[in-house]
Amino acid sequence: MMKPGKFIFFINPVARDGKLGRQWQKVEHHFADELPQTEFHMPTSAAQCREQVANAARQDNVCLVAVGGEGTMNMVANGILDVRREAQVCMGLVPFGNVNDYAMNIGMHRNWHHALATLKAYHIAPVGVTELVTLKGSFYSLNLADVGFGAATAKQHSVDRQLSWLKGQFKYNMLALKMLLKWRNIPCRIVIDGETITGELSILLAGFSPTLGAFKLVPHGNPYLKEMAITVGINMKKMEMINRMQQSKHRGIEEDEHIFYRTGRQVVIESEAPLVCEVDGEIVDTAAFKVEMIAHPGRIQFLVPDSEIESK
């Protein structure tokens, strides 16, 4: 791809606990001054963001930039994939979220200076996307798709609005403990590229990144893999789940009779009870009895730092 003639930014004003709108006003002029041609949008809803991105993605020779966290990045990626099946546009990121998992996983620093330098350098890499399919439709994830305990915890935050007075990573930790008190494993049949795993599902994550909410739950994940990285937790007791979550803050969870690491192109989950489904922190279904996850390696052209290109 040639260097884009225009950079179109999509800013989520409520990212970073509602602070981004004010913070962005102080730095926007740096991007306008140092990039060849810029356009800035601050959509007021997820639906409006996705529609604006889809319209922008119909242009050629543009880079669409998400300004916010994983949720903003997810809306931009899904807007692109709504209308584009070929790589005529690229995507960039200015990480202004609370955790910024994906930025960390592609070697970006958590500041706008490094993000601007990355956009200006224009080093492009094809990164993988996971498609999650339920009866409600298809949804795409750059970071990780999730069903089970993690998705149920995320639902408390984004749908139920629990513990809304808390902020940042501490809030997610408290929500996880709250969910653990009432969590019940879910009987499931899981098929990964023809291999069948049965049991009571505790966690299942699939995608192209190792971390979710700063927890290293899929340590074998990588944005440049040819297949999804998959972590399955079966028949885990509550205290064991607590111990594993603590373990994942510092290193990958150890594989044993309850934790399975796999890579694959397709995962199918059939459940006896409704599953909550999450992509990049966004809840896309709260009552799915069948879920399919499909790998799309190298699907989006992404601007990454120089060091990341050298290490791939």
Residues 31 and 136 in one domain: no
Judged by DSSP in three states, 300 sits in strand
Do 139 and 256 have their domain in common?
yes
122, 155, 184 - which closes a domain: 122
Q: Which residues pair with 39 in a beta bridge?
A: 8
Phi/psi for 82 (5° steps) reads: -60, -35
What are the structure tokens assigned to 74, written together?
Answer: 């997810």
Alpha helices (H) in the chain, listed in sequence order: 15-18, 20-34, 46-57, 70-83, 101-105, 112-121, 149-158, 168-182, 238-248, 306-311
Taking residues 109-132, what's their average pLDDT? 94
Average pLDDT, the chain: 87
* Confidence check: pLDDT of 86 > 70: no
CA-to-CA dists, residue 187 to 103, 256, 275, angstroms? 34, 19, 11
Domain endpoint, select from 122, 157, 175: 122
Range of the domain at 211: 132-299
- Same domain for 118 and 179, yes or no, is no
Q: What percent of the chain has pLDDT over 70?
A: 88
| Amino acid 98: pLDDT | 80
Give the CATH number, domain containing residue 262: 2.60.200.40
pLDDT exceeds cutoff 60 at 36:
yes
pLDDT digits (tens, 9 = 90+) for 91-106: 999 999 888 889 999 9
Residue 279 lies in a domain: yes
pLDDT at residue 30, rounded to an integer:
96
**Rounded to whole angstroms, how far apart are CA atoms 271 and 101?**
29
Taking only the tens place, the pLDDT of each residue in 62-71 is: 999 999 988 8
pLDDT at 248: 74
The amino acid sitting at 117 is A
The verdict on 51 and 109 lying in the same domain is yes
311 found inside a domain: no
Kindly state the percentage of the chain with pLDDT values over 90: 57
Shared domain for 11 and 106, answered yes or no, is yes
The count of residues in the chain is 312
The pTM assigned to this predicted structure is 0.88
CATH (domain of 38): 3.40.50.10330
Cβ-in-10-Å burial (0-12, 13-18, 19+) of 80 comes to buried
Query: Taking 90 as the threshold, does the pLDDT of residue 242 lie above it?
Result: no
